[in-house]
Structure 1
Amino acid sequence: MRARLPKQNQGGAQNMNAMIRQAQKMQDEISELQEDIESRDFTATAGGGAVSVTVTGKKTVKALEIKPEVVDPEDIEMLQDLIISAVNEAVNQVEATTESEMSKITGGVSLPGLF
């Protein structure tokens, strides 16, 4: 003889199934967004446009442009600093965009390990 679950427990199972479907939908949306962001380019400049860096959404440097007038053999450190600054800014753009767009999907809930 099988025991029947009280009606309230049956509703709990339905609610659990709905939660699982919602979680799967969110996971699919997150995967789609990650692919979209990874396919984008992010560009940042430093030194008033003297150095321009483009990185992919995967945080890989794709392009680096240096205006000739900023190249001073006597001040290589300044050029290095401009490059570092532009790269860091471009990477920060990737991270900020990822965080902002992910929070639209997750409702602002932080899900460690997703991005």
Structure 2
Amino acid sequence: MKGFPGGFGGGNMNNLLKQAQKLQKNMEETKKQLEEMNFESTSGGGVVSVKMNGKKEIVSIKLKPEIVDPDDIEMLQDLIISCINDTYKKVEEETNKEMSKLTGGFNIPGF
């Protein structure tokens, strides 16, 4: 029996394997580049700023002094949460966009 039924011969399987290995290498390189990028968001008109790297680690949080009101801690907390969530979404969107370029929209676990 030669190859696989339906036209998947030995040569075609080798080509498919090479393409898969190339895709995996490209995805790993893209993932590394994304992890080195920084993403930033602001909220409250710029009084809260969050910077996150592509590994989804918070690198910095900056607060302008005028936002610190001891009588309204809840607003400050809400602004920080909003800013973190927005930055996280930016990382996710960029990661999905770059990976989709490589995979043609297929969702590959682990990337």
Q: Flag whether TM exceeds 0.5 (same fold).
A: yes
Percent of matched pairs sharing the same residue: 47
Q: Where does residue 99 of structure 1 map in the other structure?
A: 96
Deviations 1:43-77 (A, max 9, x none): 01111111000011111111111111111110000
- Give 1:29's aligned amino acid: N
Structure 2, unpaired ranges of 5+: none
Q: Where does residue 89 of structure 1 map in the other structure?
A: 86
TM-score, with structure 2 as normaliser:
0.91
TM-score, with structure 1 as normaliser:
0.88
CA distance in 2, matches of 1:72, 1:9: 70
CA distance in 1, matches of 2:53, 2:100: 21
- Kindly tell me: are residues 81 and 10 of structure 1, through their superposed partners in 2, closer, same or farther at Cα, counting changes over 3 Å? closer
CA distance in 2, matches of 1:91, 1:11: 42
- Kindly tell me: are residues 80 and 14 of structure 1, through their superposed partners in 2, closer, same or farther at Cα, counting changes over 3 Å? same
- Give 1:85's aligned amino acid: S
For 1:19, which of 6, 16, 28 is the aligned residue? 16
Shift in Å at residue 10 of structure 1?
A: 9.1
- Give 2:40's aligned amino acid: T
Structure 1, unpaired ranges of 5+: none
Shift in Å at residue 101 of structure 1?
A: 0.5
Shift in Å at residue 113 of structure 1?
A: 2.5
Q: Does residue 37 of structure 1 match 2:34?
A: yes
Q: Does residue 70 of structure 1 match 2:53?
A: no
Q: Does residue 48 of structure 1 match 2:51?
A: no
CA distance in 2, matches of 1:81, 1:13: 59
RMSD: 2.0
Q: Which runs of 4+ in 1 moved over 2 A?
A: 8-11
